[in-house]
Amino acid sequence: MTKCGYVSVVGRPNAGKSSLLNWLVGEKIAMVSHKANATRKRANIIVMHNDDQIVFVDTPGLHETEKLLNQFMLDEALKAIGDCDLILFLAPVTDKLTHYENFLEKNKKNTKHILLLTKIDNVTNSEVLEKMREYRKYSDKFEEIIPVSIKKQTTPSDILKEVVKYLPEHPYLFDPEILTTEHLRDIFKEFIRESIFENISDEIPYETDVLINKVEEKKDIDVVKATIIVQKGSQKGMIIGKGATAIKRIGKDARIKIEKLTGRKCFLELFVSVKKGWTKNKQGLKDLGYDVTF
Protein backbone atom coordinates (compact mmCIF):
# COMPACT_ATOMS: atom_id res chain seq x y z
CA MET A 1 0.00 0.00 0.00
CA THR A 2 1.28 3.45 -0.88
CA LYS A 3 1.23 6.41 1.45
CA CYS A 4 -0.49 9.60 0.35
CA GLY A 5 -1.85 12.70 2.05
CA TYR A 6 -2.14 16.45 2.32
CA VAL A 7 0.67 18.47 3.90
CA SER A 8 -0.06 22.14 4.56
CA VAL A 9 2.94 24.46 4.45
CA VAL A 10 2.39 27.38 6.81
CA GLY A 11 4.28 30.16 8.55
CA ARG A 12 4.52 33.94 8.60
CA PRO A 13 4.71 35.92 5.35
CA ASN A 14 8.17 35.61 3.80
CA ALA A 15 9.16 32.51 5.79
CA GLY A 16 10.12 30.78 2.53
CA LYS A 17 7.04 28.58 1.97
CA SER A 18 6.62 29.02 -1.78
CA SER A 19 10.38 28.83 -2.40
CA LEU A 20 10.60 25.58 -0.46
CA LEU A 21 7.79 24.04 -2.51
CA ASN A 22 9.34 25.02 -5.84
CA TRP A 23 12.57 23.50 -4.62
CA LEU A 24 10.90 20.28 -3.43
CA VAL A 25 9.02 19.79 -6.71
CA GLY A 26 12.07 20.83 -8.76
CA GLU A 27 10.12 23.25 -10.92
CA LYS A 28 9.09 26.86 -10.55
CA ILE A 29 5.33 26.78 -10.02
CA ALA A 30 4.59 29.01 -7.02
CA MET A 31 5.35 32.71 -7.04
CA VAL A 32 8.08 33.94 -4.71
CA SER A 33 8.86 37.46 -3.57
CA HIS A 34 11.20 39.22 -1.17
CA LYS A 35 8.09 41.27 -0.32
CA ALA A 36 5.71 39.78 2.23
CA ASN A 37 2.19 38.59 1.40
CA ALA A 38 2.72 37.72 -2.24
CA THR A 39 0.88 34.37 -2.12
CA ARG A 40 -2.89 34.95 -1.96
CA LYS A 41 -4.52 31.52 -2.35
CA ARG A 42 -3.89 27.91 -1.50
CA ALA A 43 -2.26 25.84 -4.24
CA ASN A 44 -1.53 22.12 -4.39
CA ILE A 45 1.98 21.08 -5.34
CA ILE A 46 2.43 17.34 -5.77
CA VAL A 47 5.70 15.60 -5.04
CA MET A 48 6.41 11.89 -5.40
CA HIS A 49 8.88 10.31 -2.99
CA ASN A 50 9.70 6.78 -4.11
CA ASP A 51 6.24 5.18 -4.29
CA ASP A 52 4.52 7.67 -2.00
CA GLN A 53 2.66 10.81 -2.99
CA ILE A 54 2.75 14.05 -1.02
CA VAL A 55 0.19 16.74 -1.81
CA PHE A 56 1.72 19.91 -0.43
CA VAL A 57 -0.53 22.93 0.03
CA ASP A 58 1.14 26.32 -0.34
CA THR A 59 -0.62 28.96 1.75
CA PRO A 60 -0.60 32.72 2.33
CA GLY A 61 1.32 33.81 5.45
CA LEU A 62 -0.12 33.86 8.94
CA HIS A 63 -0.47 37.52 9.89
CA GLU A 64 -2.66 39.98 11.77
CA THR A 65 -4.76 42.14 9.53
CA GLU A 66 -7.61 44.57 9.01
CA LYS A 67 -7.75 44.61 5.22
CA LEU A 68 -10.41 42.47 3.55
CA LEU A 69 -8.07 40.89 0.98
CA ASN A 70 -5.65 39.98 3.76
CA GLN A 71 -8.46 38.51 5.82
CA PHE A 72 -9.29 36.30 2.85
CA MET A 73 -5.62 35.28 2.73
CA LEU A 74 -5.49 34.49 6.44
CA ASP A 75 -8.68 32.46 6.11
CA GLU A 76 -7.05 30.45 3.33
CA ALA A 77 -4.11 29.64 5.63
CA LEU A 78 -6.38 28.71 8.54
CA LYS A 79 -8.42 26.39 6.32
CA ALA A 80 -5.21 24.67 5.26
CA ILE A 81 -4.18 24.21 8.91
CA GLY A 82 -7.55 22.71 9.80
CA ASP A 83 -7.69 20.25 6.96
CA CYS A 84 -4.57 18.16 6.35
CA ASP A 85 -2.66 15.09 7.50
CA LEU A 86 0.49 16.95 8.49
CA ILE A 87 1.66 20.54 8.76
CA LEU A 88 5.09 21.85 7.90
CA PHE A 89 5.57 24.97 9.97
CA LEU A 90 8.31 27.17 8.55
CA ALA A 91 10.21 29.43 10.91
CA PRO A 92 13.12 31.49 9.62
CA VAL A 93 16.04 30.70 11.91
CA THR A 94 16.42 34.34 12.96
CA ASP A 95 12.78 34.61 14.13
CA LYS A 96 11.76 34.82 17.75
CA LEU A 97 9.50 32.00 18.94
CA THR A 98 6.37 34.18 19.00
CA HIS A 99 5.30 33.26 15.46
CA TYR A 100 5.47 29.59 16.39
CA GLU A 101 3.58 30.19 19.63
CA ASN A 102 0.83 31.99 17.70
CA PHE A 103 0.63 29.06 15.30
CA LEU A 104 0.22 26.60 18.18
CA GLU A 105 -2.83 28.59 19.27
CA LYS A 106 -4.28 28.51 15.75
CA ASN A 107 -3.70 24.76 15.34
CA LYS A 108 -6.96 23.97 17.12
CA LYS A 109 -7.09 20.30 16.10
CA ASN A 110 -3.48 19.77 17.20
CA THR A 111 -2.61 18.40 13.79
CA LYS A 112 0.84 16.81 13.81
CA HIS A 113 3.53 19.15 12.57
CA ILE A 114 7.18 19.24 11.66
CA LEU A 115 9.05 22.43 12.44
CA LEU A 116 11.37 23.56 9.66
CA LEU A 117 13.97 26.14 10.59
CA THR A 118 14.47 27.96 7.29
CA LYS A 119 17.15 30.18 5.72
CA ILE A 120 19.94 28.70 7.86
CA ASP A 121 22.45 29.88 5.25
CA ASN A 122 22.02 33.32 6.84
CA VAL A 123 23.58 32.29 10.18
CA THR A 124 26.38 30.20 11.68
CA ASN A 125 26.01 26.55 12.73
CA SER A 126 26.18 27.47 16.39
CA GLU A 127 23.33 29.94 15.93
CA VAL A 128 21.25 27.16 14.36
CA LEU A 129 21.98 24.89 17.31
CA GLU A 130 21.13 27.64 19.77
CA LYS A 131 17.76 28.22 18.08
CA MET A 132 17.03 24.47 18.11
CA ARG A 133 17.73 24.50 21.85
CA GLU A 134 15.25 27.35 22.31
CA TYR A 135 12.51 25.41 20.52
CA ARG A 136 13.19 22.36 22.66
CA LYS A 137 10.77 23.62 25.29
CA TYR A 138 8.00 22.80 22.81
CA SER A 139 9.37 19.36 21.92
CA ASP A 140 6.16 17.71 23.09
CA LYS A 141 4.26 19.77 20.47
CA PHE A 142 6.20 19.05 17.27
CA GLU A 143 7.21 15.70 15.79
CA GLU A 144 10.61 16.85 14.61
CA ILE A 145 12.67 19.95 14.03
CA ILE A 146 14.67 20.10 10.80
CA PRO A 147 17.05 22.93 9.81
CA VAL A 148 16.92 23.71 6.07
CA SER A 149 18.36 25.99 3.47
CA ILE A 150 17.32 25.82 -0.14
CA LYS A 151 20.40 27.86 -1.05
CA LYS A 152 22.93 25.36 0.28
CA GLN A 153 23.19 21.88 1.80
CA THR A 154 19.95 19.94 2.46
CA THR A 155 18.54 17.80 -0.36
CA PRO A 156 14.78 17.53 -0.94
CA SER A 157 14.79 13.82 -0.05
CA ASP A 158 16.01 14.63 3.49
CA ILE A 159 12.73 16.43 4.07
CA LEU A 160 10.47 14.20 1.95
CA LYS A 161 11.48 11.03 3.76
CA GLU A 162 10.55 12.59 7.10
CA VAL A 163 7.24 13.90 5.74
CA VAL A 164 6.03 10.54 4.40
CA LYS A 165 6.51 8.94 7.82
CA TYR A 166 3.44 10.85 9.02
CA LEU A 167 1.17 10.21 6.04
CA PRO A 168 -1.62 7.63 6.06
CA GLU A 169 -1.64 4.53 3.86
CA HIS A 170 -3.82 5.63 1.01
CA PRO A 171 -4.03 5.25 -2.78
CA TYR A 172 -2.78 8.18 -4.86
CA LEU A 173 -5.10 11.18 -4.84
CA PHE A 174 -3.73 12.49 -8.14
CA ASP A 175 -2.03 11.22 -11.27
CA PRO A 176 1.62 10.71 -10.21
CA GLU A 177 2.77 12.46 -13.40
CA ILE A 178 1.31 15.86 -12.51
CA LEU A 179 3.13 18.47 -10.44
CA THR A 180 0.19 20.64 -9.50
CA THR A 181 -3.59 20.78 -9.69
CA GLU A 182 -3.37 24.44 -10.69
CA HIS A 183 -4.47 25.27 -14.21
CA LEU A 184 -1.75 26.57 -16.47
CA ARG A 185 -3.54 29.92 -16.78
CA ASP A 186 -3.49 30.33 -12.99
CA ILE A 187 0.24 29.67 -12.93
CA PHE A 188 0.69 32.27 -15.69
CA LYS A 189 -1.33 34.70 -13.60
CA GLU A 190 0.96 34.12 -10.63
CA PHE A 191 4.07 34.62 -12.80
CA ILE A 192 2.73 37.98 -13.98
CA ARG A 193 1.88 38.95 -10.41
CA GLU A 194 5.40 37.95 -9.35
CA SER A 195 6.88 40.19 -12.04
CA ILE A 196 4.74 43.07 -10.78
CA PHE A 197 6.06 42.47 -7.26
CA GLU A 198 9.61 42.49 -8.66
CA ASN A 199 9.29 45.61 -10.77
CA ILE A 200 6.85 47.94 -9.06
CA SER A 201 7.63 49.49 -5.70
CA ASP A 202 5.66 50.32 -2.57
CA GLU A 203 2.05 49.37 -2.04
CA ILE A 204 0.91 49.05 -5.65
CA PRO A 205 1.55 45.28 -6.04
CA TYR A 206 -0.71 44.69 -3.05
CA GLU A 207 -3.59 46.47 -4.78
CA THR A 208 -2.99 44.82 -8.14
CA ASP A 209 -4.18 41.57 -9.62
CA VAL A 210 -4.16 39.85 -12.98
CA LEU A 211 -6.89 38.39 -15.16
CA ILE A 212 -5.91 35.97 -17.90
CA ASN A 213 -8.18 36.81 -20.84
CA LYS A 214 -6.99 34.23 -23.29
CA VAL A 215 -4.46 31.45 -23.74
CA GLU A 216 -4.22 30.26 -27.30
CA GLU A 217 -1.89 27.42 -28.29
CA LYS A 218 -0.75 28.03 -31.83
CA LYS A 219 1.57 25.71 -33.73
CA ASP A 220 4.87 27.25 -32.65
CA ILE A 221 3.85 29.70 -29.98
CA ASP A 222 1.44 30.26 -27.08
CA VAL A 223 -0.45 33.54 -27.23
CA VAL A 224 -1.40 34.83 -23.78
CA LYS A 225 -3.49 37.95 -23.24
CA ALA A 226 -3.83 39.28 -19.73
CA THR A 227 -5.17 42.37 -17.97
CA ILE A 228 -3.45 43.89 -14.97
CA ILE A 229 -6.11 45.21 -12.60
CA VAL A 230 -5.32 48.20 -10.37
CA GLN A 231 -7.57 49.89 -7.91
CA LYS A 232 -6.90 53.60 -8.61
CA GLY A 233 -6.44 55.62 -11.78
CA SER A 234 -3.04 56.90 -10.61
CA GLN A 235 -1.74 53.32 -10.33
CA LYS A 236 -2.36 52.67 -14.00
CA GLY A 237 0.36 55.15 -14.96
CA MET A 238 2.79 53.58 -12.49
CA ILE A 239 2.26 50.12 -13.97
CA ILE A 240 2.74 51.40 -17.52
CA GLY A 241 5.69 53.66 -16.67
CA LYS A 242 7.36 56.40 -18.73
CA GLY A 243 7.38 55.36 -22.38
CA ALA A 244 5.77 52.06 -21.27
CA THR A 245 9.11 50.93 -19.82
CA ALA A 246 7.62 49.41 -16.66
CA ILE A 247 4.96 47.32 -18.36
CA LYS A 248 7.46 46.14 -20.96
CA ARG A 249 9.77 44.93 -18.20
CA ILE A 250 6.91 43.19 -16.38
CA GLY A 251 5.86 41.53 -19.64
CA LYS A 252 9.37 40.40 -20.51
CA ASP A 253 10.08 38.93 -17.06
CA ALA A 254 6.77 37.08 -17.00
CA ARG A 255 7.19 35.80 -20.56
CA ILE A 256 10.58 34.31 -19.70
CA LYS A 257 9.09 32.45 -16.71
CA ILE A 258 6.20 31.15 -18.81
CA GLU A 259 8.52 29.93 -21.56
CA LYS A 260 10.77 28.22 -19.04
CA LEU A 261 7.85 26.29 -17.60
CA THR A 262 6.18 25.29 -20.87
CA GLY A 263 9.30 24.86 -22.99
CA ARG A 264 7.48 26.75 -25.74
CA LYS A 265 7.68 30.26 -27.15
CA CYS A 266 5.17 32.71 -25.72
CA PHE A 267 3.73 35.97 -26.97
CA LEU A 268 2.42 37.81 -23.92
CA GLU A 269 0.23 40.84 -24.38
CA LEU A 270 -0.63 42.91 -21.30
CA PHE A 271 -3.38 45.46 -20.76
CA VAL A 272 -4.10 47.61 -17.71
CA SER A 273 -7.52 48.34 -16.32
CA VAL A 274 -8.83 50.19 -13.26
CA LYS A 275 -11.36 48.46 -11.03
CA LYS A 276 -12.02 51.05 -8.34
CA GLY A 277 -11.40 49.79 -4.80
CA TRP A 278 -11.50 46.11 -5.77
CA THR A 279 -9.56 44.98 -2.66
CA LYS A 280 -12.02 46.71 -0.37
CA ASN A 281 -15.31 44.97 -1.10
CA LYS A 282 -16.44 41.36 -1.32
CA GLN A 283 -17.80 41.61 -4.85
CA GLY A 284 -14.58 43.16 -6.16
CA LEU A 285 -12.59 40.35 -4.56
CA LYS A 286 -14.95 37.67 -5.81
CA ASP A 287 -14.68 38.95 -9.40
CA LEU A 288 -10.96 38.29 -9.18
CA GLY A 289 -11.32 34.81 -7.72
CA TYR A 290 -11.04 35.59 -4.01
CA ASP A 291 -14.37 34.39 -2.74
CA VAL A 292 -14.80 35.75 0.79
CA THR A 293 -17.07 33.31 2.62
CA PHE A 294 -17.04 34.85 6.12
Binding partner selected for residue 53 from Mg ion, ligand GDP, none, CB under the kind-specific 5 to 8 Å limit: none
Would you say 252 is a known binding-site residue?
A: no
Q: With CB under 6 A, what is the number of residues at the site for ligand GDP?
A: 21
Binding partner selected for residue 116 from Mg ion, ligand GDP, none, CB under the kind-specific 5 to 8 Å limit: none
Determine phi and psi for 192, rounding to 5 degrees. -70, -40
Quick note: the x/- pattern for ligand GDP over 100-129, rule CB under 6 A, is: ------------------xx-xx-------
Least distance from ligand GDP to the Cβ atom of residue 232, Å: 25
Binding partner selected for residue 154 from ligand GDP, Mg ion, none, CB under the kind-specific 5 to 8 Å limit: none
Least distance from ligand GDP to the Cβ atom of residue 194, Å: 9
Binding partner selected for residue 269 from Mg ion, ligand GDP, none, CB under the kind-specific 5 to 8 Å limit: none
DSSP string, the chain: --BEEEEEEEESTTSSHHHHHHHHHTS--S---SSS----S-EEEEEEETTEEEEEEE-PPP----SHHHHHHHHHHHHHHHS-SEEEEEEETTS-THHHHHHHHH-TT---EEEEEE-GGGS-HHHHHHHHHHHGGGTTT-SEEEE--SSSS--HHHHHHHHHHTSPB---SS-TT-SBSS-HHHHHHHHHHHHHHHHS-TTGGGG-EEEEEEEEE-SSEEEEEEEEEESSHHHHHHHH-GGGHHHHHHHHHHHHHHHHHHSSEEEEEEEEEE-TTGGGSHHHHHHTT-----
Would you say 246 is a known binding-site residue?
A: no
Least distance from Mg ion to the Cβ atom of residue 138, Å: 24
Least distance from ligand GDP to the Cβ atom of residue 19, Å: 3
Least distance from ligand GDP to the Cβ atom of residue 214, Å: 28
Task: Tell me if 81 contacts ligand GDP by CB under 6 A.
Answer: no
Residues 1-30 that bind ligand GDP (CB under 6 A): 11, 13-19
The length of the chain in residues reads: 294
**17 vs 113 by CB, closer to Mg ion:** 17
Q: Binding site for GTP: residue ranges? A: 11-18, 58-62, 118-121
Interface with ligand GDP by CB under 6 A: which residues?
Answer: 11, 13-19, 32-34, 38-39, 61, 118-119, 121-122, 149-151
